[in-house]
Chain A
Amino acid sequence: MQSKTHNQEPEITAELVAAHGLKPEEYKHFTELLDRTPTFTELGICSAMWNEHCSYKSSKKWLKQLPTKGPRVICGPGENAGVIDIEDGDAIIFKMESHNHPSFIEPYQGAATGVGGILRDVFTMGARPIAALNALRFGDPSHPKTRHLVSGVVAGVGGYGNSFGVPTLGGEVNFHARYNGNNLVNAMAVGLARTDGIFYSKAKGVGLPVVYLGAKTGRDGIHGATMASAEFDDKADEKRPTVQVGDPFTEKCLLEACLELMASGAVIAIQDMGAAGLTCSAVEMGAKGDLGIELNLDKVPCREEGMTAYEMMLSESQERMLMVLRPEKEMEAEAIFKKWGLDFAIIGQTTDTLRFVIKHQGEVKADLPIKQMGDEAPEYDRPWIEPKKPAALGDVPVPNDLAAAILKIVGSPDMCSRRWVWEQYDTRVQSNSAQIPGGDAGVVRIRGKKAIAVSSDVTPRYVEADPFEGGKQAVAECWRNLTCVGAEPIAITDNLNFGNPERPEVMGQFVLALKGVGEACRALDFPIVSGNVSLYNETNGQAILPTPTIGGVGLLHDLSKMATLKFKEAGEAILLLGGHGTHLGQSIYLREVWGREEGPPPPVDLVKERAHGNFIRGLINDAAVTAVHDISDGGLASAVIEMALAGNLGAQVDALDHVQLFGEDQARYVLTCSTKEAAKIITQAHVKGIDVIRIGTVSGSGAVRFGTVSLPLSVLRDTHESWFPKFMAG
């Protein structure tokens, strides 16, 4: 017979333990901590806390080596989001987080709740979200699932963000066969708070009320975090019930109610219920504050009848928060939540026992040591090997037809216009958008002249070919994009998407990419203040391209000096900063024109990167340049064409060879300025040892000409704009 506490609950067997994603040695460690067999609820809690998604057990060792401090950093990793100081008492709170696994199973809700989750992370800390970004990666366009996933994910991102009322100001969309079985949805939110109004999750004080706020708890998303900590097989669709359902209306009300409550001075600590819901939020609040937490589940507002302790503790129902409140403010707090039509329930209290105690219907369902469940969870040093470096590339053939090659690139899935995507996102709401998608970075006004710039970047094919250089490149490109609009890059959030870390070659990609990321952050004074790790992005043994997405924030002191990439006036000089292209390894040209994904990626010289970026920022600040764009995917040719299309002006560029046109060498920019200014800039650069040359002139001819090869703007525009709508129309 089962004991009374274990009434109706399954017996703990090796199979049940395995089904909870716990390895035998982890389970053994758990029973030793308890000195007895766990209850079913305890097993569920342990699986929720010790899975990869919540515990970072494979990645912690390496994450600790990243630079996370800087003069503007108020709060680095470990909280709901990172916090930076942007002067005048303003703080920016931001983070990026993945919702990869759920978005593959149920694209609309998976993406929507990804956006909802990251918005909550930001407003939990006291910030009003002012910008959202999303980095999306899908399988080969010809794969039968791709179109369905693109359509659902984009609609889900828009459906949540638009309703919530945050402008979506940037992001990425890429296609590659290696994402066929695992798409990536990385959502980033950026919020604005006052430096004296930031809220943390660390509980303080014994015997204080633990309050449940927001939406009711249902049976959705049970084991979502555990699901996200395993690879997929052909039966991934069967995991649909683990995906949560989003309610942006409730979230918007929750935002307003939380900000109102925070302003009232009632909040001691606050934590949103994200992955592993009530379990993770309560354990984190207690463990961080060196306090125990006791919860009475009879008080939890439930959407469905007869929910068990196990279900309540593991539900990932959305739009919920947990707070520790000042008892004297309880009534005031409740009134605010009632006004917004949200649930408010005192479900427990803080204790001095360091135990996590769960009571339900008069029984103790769990009694666990809180520190060991939370910040002292197991940690691994997984074996890793350095992936084999690709062979040198050798000569790459000249295109048979240069015009055709350029059009092929401009209209390719990875290089064509993303208008079809971002026109489904509200880019205008809040009235502060100074640059919407289509430029190098999104820009949003803080107030007066002050603004921030935001960008999300990574080039996964580079990381695959050389994780270290690829990791550096992701950070450098983000830094460069912020620079292009004239912003001073401040800090980043990273979203590290990789395959199964139990495979040494995948772990090797992770370790080396992170070393590259860290090195670039140090060289560019660009600390990491928040982040998320998504491992096990793998189906039937095939891992995704290693994808460490970098989301950066920069500060613009004077919006009137902001730069854009579009050509402004015919007759202006076009300058190339950073020298001609020499490197075609892993280039878009090689892949799109010759069908080859080969060679090493372009190396990143961080000293050069920094010098060039600082020089550009100086030019923008002096109003010496009229347009700025960095050179990345597709090389110089693509950069010039993007500037021409944005400004609806042509260009006459010198006759250049294919390596110069398509090379993806780093630390390079294209600028325009008056011809008078051009001479000055070239001299100025020369003094600093920076290579700047004039390569052409903006023209009113209605065509972009490279030497004698002429491409009418109308043809370029049609090619650039048509791929996405055509693809989505089937």
Chain B
Amino acid sequence: MKSAVIVFPGINRDRDMMLALENVTGVKPIAVWHADTELPKVDLVVVPGGFSYGDYLRCGAIAARSPIMSDVHAKAMKGLKVLGVCNGFQILTETGLLPGALLRNGALKFVCRDVKLRIENNRTWFTNRLKKGDVVPCPVAHGEGNYICDAETLQRLEGENRIVFRYAEGSNPNAAMNDIAGIMNEAGNVIGMMPHPENMVEPLHGSTACRPLFESLLAA
């Protein structure tokens, strides 16, 4: 399983993601600089978390217009698997690969804590090692994770089983609508999520509960 992790200036969880991918899949991902125009040949592209361009404009807005994102967009439209985590999720909504937007957290503060993440759809390339309804702990660390979309989109997301993760047991940290923590596109090859599974894959992290997500990549 070959993967690439996109590095924008200001991204700070690129190393975390590369560590988790290498740790679980055994293959070191390729770091791709934002100014490059073409992706290497890989099975998965990850847009990691952090503060691309400081998020001084709308979160992810500038990164979404980086040279490399045109190729990510084009290849995603052809079916390449793309995972966006946290700032990466925000960037994917800004590129239009995923619907909706991420607003400031309901409490208007940055929040870093472990939430309960429920697997709503286990028939994806990132969740197939878990059961539907499984609840796993997973850290969040964001100031803008409050997912929102229009009523029609929400109805489609719910109806088409495109909500992959939900905050469970009252642990919604940001007031996201319908407790949405992660979604996928219509074709199912693009997944975006606010929590950081890459920070919960080894005993050091206090739990290895998110390891099966990365192990799913091997089965897919």
Establish whether residues B204 and A432, one from each chain, have CB atoms under 8 Å apart when the complex forms.
yes
Chain B residues with a Cβ under 8 A of chain A? 9-10, 12-13, 15-16, 19-20, 50-51, 53-56, 109-113, 139, 141, 143, 196, 198-199, 204-205
Question: Given A428-B199, A432-B204 in contact, is the A252-B56 Cβ separation under 8 Å?
Answer: no
Closest 6 CB pairs of A and B: A165-B12, A249-B54, A163-B51, A431-B16, A428-B199, A426-B141
Q: Which residues of B contact A425 (CB under 8 A)?
A: 110, 112
Among A645-697, those with CB < 8 Å from B are: none
Interface locus among A154-162, A500-508, A531-539: A154-162
User: Interface size for chain A: under 10, 10 to 19, 20 to 34, or 35 or more residues?
Assistant: 20 to 34
Q: How far is the CB of A602 from chain B (nearest CB, A)?
A: 34
* A551 to B141 CA separation, bound complex (whole angstroms): 26
* A158 to B47 CA separation, bound complex (whole angstroms): 23
Return the chain A residue nearest B52 by Cβ.
Answer: A249
Question: Taking the complex as formed, is A336 at the interface, i.e. its CB lies under 8 A from any CB of chain B?
Answer: no
* A341 to B196 CA separation, bound complex (whole angstroms): 28
Q: Which residues of B contact A430 (CB under 8 A)?
A: 15-16
* A256 to B50 CA separation, bound complex (whole angstroms): 14
Establish whether residues B111 and A428, one from each chain, have CB atoms under 8 Å apart when the complex forms.
no
Establish whether residues A248 and B51, one from each chain, have CB atoms under 8 Å apart when the complex forms.
yes
Q: Which residues of A contact B13 (CB under 8 A)?
A: 165, 429
Is chain B's interface secondary structure helix, strand, loop, or mixed overall?
mixed
Q: Quick one: CB contact mask for A433-455 with B, threshold 8 Å, 1 for yes?
A: 11000000000010000000000
Establish whether residues B15 and A431, one from each chain, have CB atoms under 8 Å apart when the complex forms.
yes
Question: Taking the complex as formed, is A465 at the interface, i.e. its CB lies under 8 A from any CB of chain B?
Answer: no
Question: Taking the complex as formed, is A164 at the interface, i.e. its CB lies under 8 A from any CB of chain B?
Answer: yes
Return the chain A residue nearest B12 by Cβ.
Answer: A165
Question: Given A162-B141, A430-B15 in contact, is the A423-B204 Cβ separation under 8 Å?
Answer: no
Q: Which residues of A contact B196 (CB under 8 A)?
A: 428
Q: Which residues of B contact A340 (CB under 8 A)?
A: 9
Q: Which residues of A contact B199 (CB under 8 A)?
A: 428-429, 431
Chain A residues with a Cβ under 8 A of chain B? 155, 158-159, 162-165, 247-250, 252-253, 256, 340-341, 422-434, 445, 559
Q: A249-B51, A341-B9, A433-B205 are in contact. List 15 more A-B contacts (CB 8 A).
A: A155-B110, A162-B110, A162-B143, A164-B12, A165-B13, A250-B54, A423-B113, A424-B109, A425-B110, A426-B141, A428-B112, A428-B205, A430-B15, A431-B205, A559-B204
Establish whether residues B204 and A445, one from each chain, have CB atoms under 8 Å apart when the complex forms.
yes
Question: Given A428-B196, A434-B204 in contact, is the A247-B111 Cβ separation under 8 Å?
Answer: no
* A249 to B56 CA separation, bound complex (whole angstroms): 9
Establish whether residues A247 and B19, one from each chain, have CB atoms under 8 Å apart when the complex forms.
no
Q: Which residues of A contact B10 (CB under 8 A)?
A: 163, 249, 252-253
Interface centre among B12, B141, B198 (most CB of A within 10 A): B12
User: Which residue of A163, A165, A423 contacts B112 across the interface (Cβ within 8 Å)?
Assistant: A423
Establish whether residues A249 and B16, one from each chain, have CB atoms under 8 Å apart when the complex forms.
no
Q: Which residues of A contact B56 (CB under 8 A)?
A: 249
Question: Given A165-B12, A428-B196, A431-B20 in contact, is the A423-B111 Cβ separation under 8 Å?
Answer: yes
Interface centre among B19, B141, B198 (most CB of A within 10 A): B141
User: Which residue of B15, B54, B111, B112 contacts A248 across the interface (Cβ within 8 Å)?
Assistant: B54
Listed by A's residue number, 15 A-B pairs whose Cβ atoms lie within 8 Å are A155-B110, A159-B110, A162-B112, A249-B54, A249-B56, A252-B12, A253-B9, A423-B113, A424-B110, A425-B110, A427-B112, A429-B16, A429-B199, A431-B20, A559-B204
* A256 to B33 CA separation, bound complex (whole angstroms): 13
Q: Which residues of B contact A433 (CB under 8 A)?
A: 204-205
Q: How far is the CB of B115 from chain A (nearest CB, A)?
A: 11
Q: Which residues of A contact B15 (CB under 8 A)?
A: 430-431
Establish whether residues A158 and B110, one from each chain, have CB atoms under 8 Å apart when the complex forms.
yes
Establish whether residues A429 and B51, one from each chain, have CB atoms under 8 Å apart when the complex forms.
no
Return the chain A residue nearest B23 by Cβ.
Answer: A431
Return the chain B residue nearest A444 by Cβ.
Answer: B204
* A248 to B55 CA separation, bound complex (whole angstroms): 10
User: Which residue of B9, B112, B139 contacts A249 across the interface (Cβ within 8 Å)?
Assistant: B9
Q: Which residues of A contact B143 (CB under 8 A)?
A: 162
